[in-house]
């Protein structure tokens, strides 16, 4: 997808604990579990990327392609896609599934204390 933002990155099973769990002690990590075949995933990704680009000092966006990382989907009991999980201080703080418009995503992140 041509990600060039430092705070937007792809992550897989091998790098998940380091790139997400441990890294969330410094910055809130928003994890987008998505699949290429999923239209709501393709609609949500640009919304998440836009918010991450606007909030570079507060959050990082980690993108997990679920077809290549099924163990992670199982680890977190994901039943539908897209699913977004927010990690802060090494712990899951909240999640939602399905498409949400930008304002709702921002409200969700603000309620968790991930953004102001």
| Residues marked as catalytic | 38, 41
Cβ atoms of 93 and 112 closer than 8 Å: yes
Largest CA distance in the chain: 33
Domains of the chain: 8-109 (3.40.30.10)
* Distance of alpha carbon 63 from alpha carbon 53, whole angstroms: 14
| pLDDT given for residue 6 in this prediction | 79
Q: Tell me how far apart the alpha carbons of residues 62 and 48 are, in angstroms, rounded to a whole number.
A: 10
| Centroid of chain to Cα 17 | 14
Q: Which pLDDT tens digits describe the chain residue by residue (116 residues)?
A: 344 467 999 999 999 999 999 999 999 999 999 999 999 999 999 999 999 999 989 999 999 999 999 999 999 999 899 999 999 999 999 999 999 999 999 999 999 999 98
Q: Which structure tokens are listed for 20?
A: 């997400």
Q: What are phi and psi of 104, to 5 degrees?
A: -70, -40
pLDDT at 109: 97
Q: What is the pLDDT at residue 1?
A: 38
């Amino acid at each position: 997808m041509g990600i060039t933002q430092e705070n937007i990155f792809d992550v897989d099973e091998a790098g998940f604990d380091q790139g997400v769990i441990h890294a969330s002690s410094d910055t809130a990590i928003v994890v987008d579990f998505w699949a290429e075949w999923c239209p709501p995933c393709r609609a949500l990704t640009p919304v998440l990327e836009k918010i991450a680009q606007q909030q570079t000092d507060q959050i990082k966006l980690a993108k997990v392609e679920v077809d290549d990382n099924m163990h992670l989907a199982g680890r977190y009991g994901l039943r539908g896609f897209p699913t977004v999980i927010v990690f802060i201080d090494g712990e899951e703080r909240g999640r939602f599934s399905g498409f949400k418009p930008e304002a709702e995503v921002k409200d969700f992140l603000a309620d968790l204390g991930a953004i102001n």
